[in-house]
Amino acid sequence: MSVQLWTWILVGVTFALYFGIAIWARAGSTKDFYVAGGGVSPMANGMATAADWMSAASFISMAGLISFMGYDGSVYLMGWTGGYVLLALLLAPYLRKFGKFTVPDFIGDRYYSNTARTVAVICALLVSFTYVAGQMRGVGIVFSQFLQVDINLGVIIGMAVVLVFAFLGGMKGITYTQVAQYCVLMFAFLVPAIFISLQMTGNPIPQLGMGAKVQDGTYLLEKLDNLHTELGFKEYTNGSKSTWDVFAITLALMTGTAGLPHVIVRFFTVPKVKDARKSAGLALLFIAFLYTTAPAVSVFARTNLIETVRDKEYTEMPAWFKNWENTGLIAWTDKNEDGKIQYVAGNALDGKKPVFEETRGKYGERVLANPSAEVNELYVDRDIMVLANPEIAKLPNWVIGLVAAGGLAAALSTAAGLLLVISTSISHDLIKKQIKPDISEKGELLAARAAIFVAIVIAGYFGVNPPGFVAAVVALAFGLGAASFFPAIVLGVFDKRMNKEGAIAGMMVGIGLMLFYMITYKTGLVGLMDPRPSSEWWFGTSPEGFGTVAMIANVVVALVISRVTKPTPAEVQDIVENIRIPSGAGEAQAH
């Protein structure tokens, strides 16, 4: 069977499974909608947490970034996995014992202030919409290539799918859908990795294959280093980022992970505090399967890509190359008009996004309308490396279709969790807690579902107009989480003296700084200003790492303000003391 037929079959089967679960797990109460009734088992919650956390950035884009960045890409591995450990040890059990539905709920009650709650809602919306932008781009990429539909139509189809299981089941439907999605995405990520590891090194374990010898007797990483240097690139196993920027990005990703509202809320879905600890440990194990495999996938993909295009004529390119050209994610401009693809160090185009000629070149190639003056002629979008890898390695068609289903599972699972955070922030933290406290449970459920619909429309817009590579966009979302939520939550648990004035001031300074830096050095303002160059970065800190600087500013401001203003009320200090006491914690129930 053809790739497209296999893709339709596998995507159709998995979507039917998701819809079936959504119908089975319909939410009948706000507790079902917000925290799945608080009755999810640690095993199911661990798998759902892993699927929620391993987004399109993890499945589609992380290995692609590492394949292009080499050693420098390790910041994503260290930051995201280290952050999960931080979340599991520092925050999850204490937040579960506190027993609220959402992160803004915790902040509003811990800091005895609706102003603090409102600031937290704004931060949750900013983090979630930035994060969901990356997921929608992932959905569009998969649909546009494998289902042969327009990328914008692909985004709309993906949003319709998320709408069904988020709208019907809330957290209950999303949780059990994510269990299925975890199984799909892991199978889809590991199967081609095992195939390619066997093909290239004879070792079926990708993590070991990455360090094994290839057929010519050289080690795979040594071969990739040699290929890189021959083409004028920096050695794959050496980094170019400064030590400070590596540290800043890693810490921003770590603390951002621990401050992500859609991940934190997962620990409110289990019955007891000890179950929160168990599910955190299981989720880390489930996450490790993908994260220890990603570096190997990046090495395999990079090696295969270079060997496919190096010094080859365009007419010799395999079918996968020309198929991906149709999506606009690969393009070639014959700058020296020799008919060969020059793939060397340097930029293939001017500007951040490729612009294409309306007509094809003389070989039928997709031509860049904004090529750079440098020698490199090939543009490759980093987000395609995992998706194209099975085709590059000439794996069976069913494996290629499986990867498409896995990419969709990764993007849709995280998108659903983020949309629920947006929904609950509006319906529970704004409407129920502040605007209309006497709203009925039925009215609150209706408001939550209406908020999901609006959020999906906005998320669809970001999918149609993506601001960058999936993982790069997601990294900015982590920076926003680090700058806003992480200090407020950690200080709220471990510093009884932290008061509402300090927390509010800290969050506002942190999120304000991060937003300013993102706009100035990453996204710019459409029609008004372009992003500033890297030569002007503060302290040599990239936008992906600036969350660390903004977080430090948040902590300093919060501590100073809290020490010069009125102390925290005694009853709040007692609550803080209580959530840190383990005795009897296993019997704590959500209230």
248 or 36: whose pLDDT is higher? Answer: 248
User: How many other β-carbons are positioned within 10 Å of the β-carbon of residue 90?
Assistant: 17
- Read off the pLDDT band of 506 (50, 70, 90): very high
pLDDT value of position 77: 84
pLDDT value of position 551: 94
Is 587's pLDDT higher than 80? no
Identify whether residues 339 and 400 lie together within a single domain.
no
Identify whether residues 57 and 173 lie together within a single domain.
yes
Mind listing the pLDDT tens digit for each residue in 314-355?
888 888 888 788 777 788 888 888 888 888 888 888 766 778
Q: Which of 467, 497, 515 is the last residue of a domain?
A: 467
Domain annotation covers residue 545: yes
What is the token pair recorded at 458? Answer: 């906005």
Domain annotation covers residue 480: no
Identify whether residues 407 and 316 lie together within a single domain.
no
Of these ranges, 171-175, 512-516, 560-564, the one predicted with the greatest mean pLDDT is 560-564
SS3 553: helix
Domain annotation covers residue 472: no
Domain annotation covers residue 112: yes
Identify whether residues 208 and 255 lie together within a single domain.
yes
Domain annotation covers residue 399: yes
Domain annotation covers residue 125: yes
Q: Please give the share of the chain, as a percent, with pLDDT higher than 90.
A: 10
Of these ranges, 205-214, 407-416, 465-474, 515-524, the one predicted with the greatest mean pLDDT is 205-214
pLDDT value of position 528: 52
Q: What is the C-alpha to C-alpha distance for residues 112 and 132, in angstroms, rounded to an integer?
A: 30
Three-state secondary structure of 392-440: HCCCCHHHHHHHHHHHHHHHHHHHHHHHHHHHHHHHHHHHHHHHCCCCC
Q: CATH no. for residue 197?
A: 1.10.4160.10
User: How many other β-carbons are positioned within 10 Å of the β-carbon of residue 357?
Assistant: 14
**Distance from chain centroid for Cα 45:** 19
pLDDT value of position 546: 92
pLDDT value of position 586: 46
pLDDT value of position 524: 60
- Read off the pLDDT band of 561 (50, 70, 90): very high
CA-nearest of 236, 250, 238 to 76 is 250
Identify whether residues 413 and 534 lie together within a single domain.
no
pLDDT value of position 554: 95
Identify whether residues 407 and 329 lie together within a single domain.
no
Identify whether residues 121 and 164 lie together within a single domain.
yes
pLDDT value of position 590: 44
DSSP string covering 496-545, please?
Answer: TT--HHHHHHHHHHHHHHHHHHHIIIII-BTTTBPPPPGGG-GGG--TTT
Domain annotation covers residue 591: no
Is 468's pLDDT higher than 70? no
Q: Which of 384, 413, 441 is the last residue of a domain?
A: 384
pLDDT value of position 589: 46
Q: Among 50-59, 271-280, 486-495, 496-505, which is the least confidently predicted range?
A: 50-59
What is the token pair recorded at 455? Answer: 């959020």
pLDDT value of position 467: 55
Identify whether residues 420 and 314 lie together within a single domain.
no
Identify whether residues 238 and 348 lie together within a single domain.
no
User: How many other β-carbons are positioned within 10 Å of the β-carbon of residue 318?
Assistant: 13
Identify whether residues 314 and 296 lie together within a single domain.
no
Mind listing the pLDDT tens digit for each residue in 360-404?
888 888 888 888 888 888 888 887 888 888 888 888 888 888 888
Q: Which of 339, 362, 384 is the last residue of a domain?
A: 384
Q: How many domains does the chain have?
A: 3
Q: What is the C-alpha to C-alpha distance for residues 375 and 440, in angstroms, rounded to an integer?
A: 65
Mind listing the pLDDT tens digit for each residue in 407-438?
777 777 777 777 777 777 787 777 887 888 88
Identify whether residues 84 and 187 lie together within a single domain.
yes
pLDDT value of position 588: 42
Identify whether residues 68 and 137 lie together within a single domain.
yes
Domain annotation covers residue 479: no
The domain in which residue 246 lies consists of 3-301+395-467
To the nearest whole number, what is the mean pLDDT of the chain? Answer: 81
Is 451's pLDDT higher than 50? yes
Mind listing the pLDDT tens digit for each residue in 209-250?
888 888 888 899 999 998 888 888 888 888 788 889 989 989
pTM of structure? 0.79
Mean pLDDT on 103-111: 86
Q: Answer positive or negative: Cα dihedral of 443, 444, 449, 450.
A: positive
- Read off the pLDDT band of 170 (50, 70, 90): low
